[in-house]
Amino acid sequence: MPHADPALDALLLPFAEGRLAWPRAGALFLRARDGVALHAAPHPGLACVQPFKPQADALAHAGLALRDADEEDDGHRWPLVLLLPPRQRSEARAWMARALARVAPGGVVVVSQPNDEGAKSGQADFARLAGPLQVLSKHHCRVYWSAPLHAVAEPALAAGWRALDAPRPIADPRLPPGRWLSRPGVFAWDRIDAGSALLAQHLPAGLAGVAADLGAGWGYLAAVLLERCPGIHALDLYEADARALALARDNLASHAQRAALGFHWHDVTTGLPRRYDVIVSNPPFHAQDRADRPELGQRFIAAAAQALAPRGRLWLVANRHLPYEGALGAHFAGVRTVAQADGFKVVEAVRGA
């Protein structure tokens, strides 16, 4: 059974209370999530867009229709567009502009945000594009929706916002200018995060064989592995965020002749499909609601252990306080802490023979 989701509950409140009617022609749900409220009443013709693989899988498991995670504009316009914006404001503004671009003339856009994730500023942002709004507050969230729309209030602003989360060069001085692309909303989108930087410093040049990067992001650790370790002849990148994976594909294009590369939109916690000699990972430890979830990293460790060949090696970086030692000890024959700095730890773990 799907879990309760306050923002989703608030999003569907105008329909539950009869303030809005569900259109016969269906609706487009951007950044959709499965939850109890989606099953409390029929929502015929609902099409969902979700770039985060675990949530996309949950929607598919619930029998809901999924559209391409990149949300390409195929020209179809919807009488109703629903949106659960992200916390990151530039990305949220881009999704708002995208929602308005997909609504049919006379259609309505409905948006819901938790109060502690910028609902008040999000409402103000959306009103700049959509004009006067209807608003309800419940479940510590704010749901707001447009009047029937025939035109965007500020077309030039909407066009500018649509590009706010477009890929652009990363301005980190440790990277060659213009060489790497990222976009708002991706983890550590505008820099090399401190954990990955520490792991990169300690990866040994002798790693060889078939490798994987679990939670690959925009591809930094994978590139370091390929550049430092000539014995790596194949590398698979696993990433749950489709937007980050697309960036990694672009960022590693110059390595395509160097090694066989695979790019997998995948939930690592469900396991891996093949064996590896080497795995590197900077695993997530937050859910999308930003709550601490150390069990995510523990499941990454278990998945890595199950996928490694005998004597295969895992190189892992994590925040120093995270309780990973039990999982490492349970799944690996040998574990050593290679480095600790700036609140992070780098660990090498070797699978038994």
Q: Mark 55-65 as b/e (b = at least 16 C-beta within 10 Å).
A: bbbbbeeeebe
* Domain range annotation of the chain: 6-162, 168-350
pLDDT of residue 2: 54
Least confident window among 195-209, 265-279, 283-297, 316-330: 283-297
Burial of 232 (C-beta count, 10 Å sphere; 0-12/13-18/19+): buried
Residues 146-189 have pLDDT tens digits of 999 999 999 999 999 999 999 999 999 999 988 999 999 999 99
- Strands across the sheet containing 231-239: 260-265, 231-239, 208-214, 276-281, 308-319, 344-350, 334-341
Contact 35, 89 (CB under 8 A): no
**Dist CA 250 CA 219 (whole Å):** 9
What amino acid is encoded at 281 in this protein? S
Task: Report whether 286 contacts 261 (CB < 8 A).
Answer: no
Q: Within a 10 A sphere around the Cβ of 80, how many other Cβ atoms? A: 24
Integer Rg of the chain from CA:
22
Residue 195 identity: G
What percentage of residues in the chain have a pLDDT greater than 70? Answer: 96
What would the pLDDT profile of 184-223 be if each residue is shown by its tens digit?
Answer: 999 999 999 999 999 999 999 999 999 999 999 999 999 9
- d(C-alpha 350, C-alpha 122), whole Å: 47
Rounded to 5°, angle at Cα 320 from 318 and 324: 65
Place of tokens 């792991």: 199
The reported pLDDT for the residue numbered 287 is 63
Query: H helices of 34-118, where?
Result: 53-61, 89-102
| pLDDT score, position 68 | 82
Spatial contact of 80 and 27, defined as CB atoms under 8 Å apart: yes
pLDDT band at 72 (very low <50, low <70, confident <90, very high): low
Beta strands 344-350 and 308-319, pairing class = antiparallel
Same fold, 6-162 and 168-350: yes
Please name the residues in contact with 279: beta carbons below 8 A apart, sequence gap of 6 or more. Answer: 211, 212, 213, 214, 304, 307, 308, 312, 313, 314, 315
Instruction: Report pLDDT for 75.
Output: 79
Whether domain 168-350 has CATH 3.40.50.300: no
Q: Is the pLDDT of residue 9 over 90?
A: yes
Residue 73 pLDDT > 70: no
Enter the CATH code of domain 6-162. 3.40.50.150
Encode pLDDT of 105-125 as tens digits: 999 999 999 999 999 999 999
In angstroms, rounded to a whole number, what is the distance separating the alpha carbons of residues 211 and 36?
Answer: 39
**What pLDDT does residue 294 have?**
84
pLDDT, position 43: 95
Residue 336 CB burial class (10 angstroms; 0-12, 13-18, ≥19)? exposed
19-54 burial code (b ≥16 CB/10 A, e <16)? ebebeeebbbbbbbbbbebbeeeebebbbbbbbbbb
